[in-house]
Amino acid sequence: MKTTRDALLYGELMLYQPERGPRVSVDTVLLAAYVNIKRSEKVLEMGSAHGAISLLLARRYPAADVIEGLEMQEDLVELARQNAEENGFRDMPSFKTGDLRAIKKIYPPQSFDVAVMNPPYGERGKNRVSPDPREAVARQGLYCTLRDVAQAARYVLANKGRFYMVMRASRLAETCAVLVETGLQPKRVRPVYPKPGRDASVFLLKAVKTGGTGMVVEPPLFVEDEKGDFTEELLKAYRIGDSLCRW
């Protein structure tokens, strides 16, 4: 696997990531900044790839009790462990090889307070499959569906546990329906727009296991302003001391 070594958050982290396959994007950074973790909570990132989100969360929330990444591709798990070591992390985050579809064989139920995932944006059978296997797994839902993700999150979360995710805007209705059917109540959603006047590209979402009904639609987040400059709200996500959490 060919890799590149890249600076993340103005050099706060240096990450090895595949030259082809899952790479850090704006969506990755936004999701990591949207998550809120309380002292002594246990956190699972599902589909952790080379560890970017888990590492960002560990940097932002050193008082968490556990931050663990679960990834089905062994070579990416090894890359995540290398990234953790080279960025000075010792015991947390940790990374484990495993398939979220078999999560009941990996963890006991209700093992975590928070679950996080940047799931594949594509729908199985509706997108042309990339010839690169890592690309297909990361982006095109080759090995997991939204329902697989929701069921895994519900299984590992304690009651009132929180699930955070980012997804393509066109799949908002589908995502909310699947979460509700699975027992995860969408509580907050924040649409992300490339710039004013454009349709939303993705959304950030927080759901709660066995939470009550009622969802807050947060103010829009614009990546660029009318002049084409990055907005202050976007730049917050790139600073360890700031976050996008509004609650």
Question: What DSSP assignment string belongs to 153-202?
Answer: HHHHEEEEEEEEEEEEGGGHHHHHHHHHHHTEEEEEEEEEESSTTS---E
Q: What is the mean pLDDT of the chain?
A: 92
More confident residue, 104 or 211: 104
Q: How confident is the model at residue 81 (pLDDT cuts 50, 70, 90)?
A: very high
Question: Do 175 and 205 meet the contact criterion of CB atoms below 8 Å apart?
Answer: yes
pLDDT in tens, 185-199: 999 999 999 999 999
Question: Do 118 and 31 meet the contact criterion of CB atoms below 8 Å apart?
Answer: yes
Q: How confident is the model at residue 134 (pLDDT cuts 50, 70, 90)?
A: very low
Residue 211: its pLDDT value, please?
86
Residue 55: its pLDDT value, please?
97
**Domains of the chain with bracketed CATH:** 25-237 (3.40.50.150)
Distance CA 170, CA 152 (A): 23
Distance CA 165, CA 179 (A): 11
Q: Is the pLDDT of residue 73 over 50?
A: yes
Q: Is the pLDDT of residue 125 over 80?
A: no
Q: Is the pLDDT of residue 118 over 50?
A: yes
Q: Is the pLDDT of residue 22 over 80?
A: yes
Q: Is the pLDDT of residue 133 over 80?
A: no
pTM here is 0.92
User: Token pair for residue 151?
Assistant: 């069921």
